């Protein structure tokens, strides 16, 4: 078995850049075995090159596979150094296949004139100088390598490699709030040497990183900082830095402050709940400065960040590959032990998907709040309600259902704690953004809007108190005649509609913004680590491989038809008893509207044409021609 603490250093570059020389010197300095890739070419291919003919991809496949096997075998017991040209990205992918987390790259880089001059003075070699141009024609500079100018002396190059790989951290994290600290601990316990930074504010935030390091043994190798220049210089190139600061101006301030210390090719990862539009702007801005930017949604709260969150990274796919080993290592694992982190798409798509995740979360939370209202109104106390909800876990288990049960069982002295909590529900903006995005895209994500406005309504506490007095709502629930199973069915029905609307919003955004998003893969990374993980989400993984619209999947069609009568009954009972259930009722209203082939929207369009000459189309004309009528 490969030891995850062992490393293979691949020294790459064209012929004549000094790979073998540097490999041997570094081997001596570090007391590590060195292998020259040239020694693993077949005789046939050596003869081919010696005759002046370049190897093609098929020729290289066996050679690269042998070097990959060599690296794997060495990593069982040793660190090692391997010299190999590795000119293309796909060659490097093959070399690192299965050992991505154990590989470091050194790219010896020089101009064709520099290398040509060196080859003229090199000892006889099967690679003729005439093939040099063919190598420069196909070389693809790596994003994840330490690049070193071959104009430096061999001793200077070896010193640089040692300094980068032995003394510097592999990953940096800025912002040591709750999430930042938890992610730092997660990275450290997974064997990554990290640098951690928190700003210095006299009298308020002093020595935060240093004190955090002292608090946990797992951070013994971490490098703590409260000044940016030292923090940035402590990281291996290309630097990989995760920003865990508040969304908005705080992110922009950190970016502006850190830019002077960054180098071309460094990577910033925004792990906060940033607006996807701003992520796109930052992506373009930093691209102009040759700095890479990834917007990565992170879900799971403090516990998830510590033990394995769901991560939704968006940006350039090649750049994602550089940070992929870190994100996938710290992510939660699904039922097949695959990481709940996957490349989402370009630009701000990662943060868009996280925004929709939070929108779905808003609805799931509101539905459980409405369940509480209904079950209380049918005469159950909190202990009984928690028992009822526990029985629901068998077929409708979810993280939010589980924590709701625990919340309802928590006491404050002799009283239930939930009864002492002010009924004002806050929000941090993602539900608002999701509602705005749905409106801008013209997508009927009605449940997210209903859940958001329910939170806004909750903040009008004094108005609600006064209006209850005005409208005499003193005996709510005395006439509810509902079975617990009916409430469960209505809950399951509403959750299906919620998940349809959420994934439909993602699907429509992908079409508009030309993002190539995989809905099934998004569902998969939401099956663990995140707030909306559930049995329903696991079911959706396979279904979304076949269709983007779960409402036309036969298994869901059958289920919805079975559940809807209960939903209708629950909602009618609640309305007749003046019990507010905005998301339950909207779920039914939406499906009733969405499954009506011929609606009364024709009247609305006629009204628009009457007062604004907005025109209309006719159902008896399939040419899609627009008409206007003089209604007067």
DSSP 3-state assignment of 298?
strand
Q: Could you count the other beta carbons within 10 Å of the beta carbon of residue 28?
A: 11
Strand partners, 333: 339
Nearest to 497 by CA among 363, 323, 305, 629: 363
The residue length of the chain stands at 632
CB of 468 closer than 8 Å to CB of 457: no
Nearest to 374 by CA among 222, 575, 100, 90: 575
Q: From CA 58, how far away is CA 74, in angstroms rounded? A: 25
345-383 as b/e: b if 16+ CB within 10 A: bbbbbbbbbbbbbbbbbbbbbbbbbbbbbbbbbbebebe
Provide the pairing of β-strand 194-197 with 415-416. Answer: unpaired
Q: Percentage helix, strand, coil, to 5, in the chain?
A: 55, 10, 30
CB of 443 closer than 8 Å to CB of 508: yes
Q: From CA 49, how far away is CA 131, in angstroms rounded? A: 8
Residues carrying an active site annotation:
354, 361
CB of 38 closer than 8 Å to CB of 20: yes
DSSP 3-state assignment of 195?
strand
CB of 129 closer than 8 Å to CB of 168: no
R_g (Cα) of the chain, nearest Å: 30
CB of 298 closer than 8 Å to CB of 311: yes
228-247 as b/e: b if 16+ CB within 10 A: beebbebbbbbbbbbbbbeb
Tokens of 23: 């490999």
């Amino acid at each position: 078995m490969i030891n995850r603490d062992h490393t293979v250093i691949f020294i790459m570059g064209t012929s004549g850049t000094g790979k073998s020389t540097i490999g041997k010197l570094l081997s001596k300095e570090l007391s590590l075995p060195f292998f020259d890739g040239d020694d693993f070419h077949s005789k046939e291919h050596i003869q081919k090159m010696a005759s002046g003919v370049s190897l093609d991809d098929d020729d290289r496949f066996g050679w690269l596979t042998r070097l990959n096997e060599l690296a794997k075998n060495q990593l069982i017991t040793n660190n090692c150094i391997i010299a190999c040209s590795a000119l293309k990205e796909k060659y490097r992918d093959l070399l690192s296949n299965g050992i991505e987390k154990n590989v470091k790259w050194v790219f010896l880089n020089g101009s064709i004139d520099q290398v040509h001059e060196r080859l003229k003075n090199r000892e006889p070699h099967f690679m003729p100088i005439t093939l040099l141009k063919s190598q420069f024609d196909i070389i693809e500079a790596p994003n994840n390598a330490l690049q070193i100018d071959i104009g430096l002396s061999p001793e200077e190059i070896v010193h640089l490699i040692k300094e980068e790989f032995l003394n510097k951290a592999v990953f940096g994290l800025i912002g040591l709030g709750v999430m930042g600290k938890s992610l730092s601990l997660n990275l450290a316990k997974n064997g990554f040497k990290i640098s951690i930074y928190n700003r210095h504010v006299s009298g308020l935030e002093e020595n935060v990183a240093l004190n955090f390091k002292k608090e946990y043994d797992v951070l013994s190798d971490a490098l703590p900082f409260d000044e940016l220049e030292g923090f940035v210089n402590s990281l291996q190139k290309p630097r990989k830095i995760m920003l865990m600061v508040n969304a908005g101006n705080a992110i922009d301030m950190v970016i502006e402050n850190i830019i002077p210390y960054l180098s071309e090719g460094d990577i910033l990862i925004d792990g906060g709940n940033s607006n996807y539009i701003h992520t796109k702007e930052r992506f373009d801005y930093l691209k102009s400065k040759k700095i890479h930017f990834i917007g990565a949604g992170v879900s799971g709260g403090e516990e998830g960040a510590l033990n394995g969150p769901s991560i939704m990274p968006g940006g350039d796919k090649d750049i994602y590959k550089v940070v992929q080993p870190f994100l996938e290592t710290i992510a939660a694992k699904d039922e097949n032990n695959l990481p709940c982190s996957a490349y989402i798409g370009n630009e701000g798509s990662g943060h868009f998907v996280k925004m929709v995740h939070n929108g779905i979360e808003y609805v799931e939370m509101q539905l459980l709040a409405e369940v509480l209202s209904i079950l209380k109104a049918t005469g159950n106390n909190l202990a009984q309600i928690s028992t009822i909800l526990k029985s629901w876990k068998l077929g409708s288990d979810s993280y939010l259902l589980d924590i709701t049960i625990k919340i309802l069982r928590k006491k404050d002295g002799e009283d239930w704690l939930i009864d002492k909590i002010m009924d004002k529900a806050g929000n941090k903006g993602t539900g608002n953004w999701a509602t705005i995005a749905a409106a801008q895209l013209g997508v009927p994500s009605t449940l997210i809007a209903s859940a958001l406005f329910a939170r806004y309504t909750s903040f009008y506490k004094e108005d609600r108190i006064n209006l209850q007095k005005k409208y005499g709502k003193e005996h709510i629930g005395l006439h509810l005649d509902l079975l617990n199973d009916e409430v469960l069915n209505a809950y399951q029905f509403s959750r299906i509609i919620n998940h349809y609307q959420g994934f439909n919003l993602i699907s429509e955004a992908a079409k508009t913004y030309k993002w190539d998003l995989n809905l099934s893969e998004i569902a998969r990374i939401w099956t663990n680590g995140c707030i909306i993980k559930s049995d329903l989400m696991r079911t959706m993984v396979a279904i979304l491989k076949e269709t983007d619209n779960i409402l036309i999947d036969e298994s869901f069609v059958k289920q919805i038809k079975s559940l809807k009568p209960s939903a209708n009954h629950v909602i009618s009972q609640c309305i007749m008893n003046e019990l507010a259930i905005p998301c339950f009722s909207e779920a039914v209203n939406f499906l009733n509207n969405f499954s009506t082939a011929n609606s009364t929207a024709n009247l609305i369009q006629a009204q628009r044409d009457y007062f604004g000459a907005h025109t209309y189309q006719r159902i008896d004309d399939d040419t899609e021609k627009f008409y206007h009528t003089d209604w007067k």
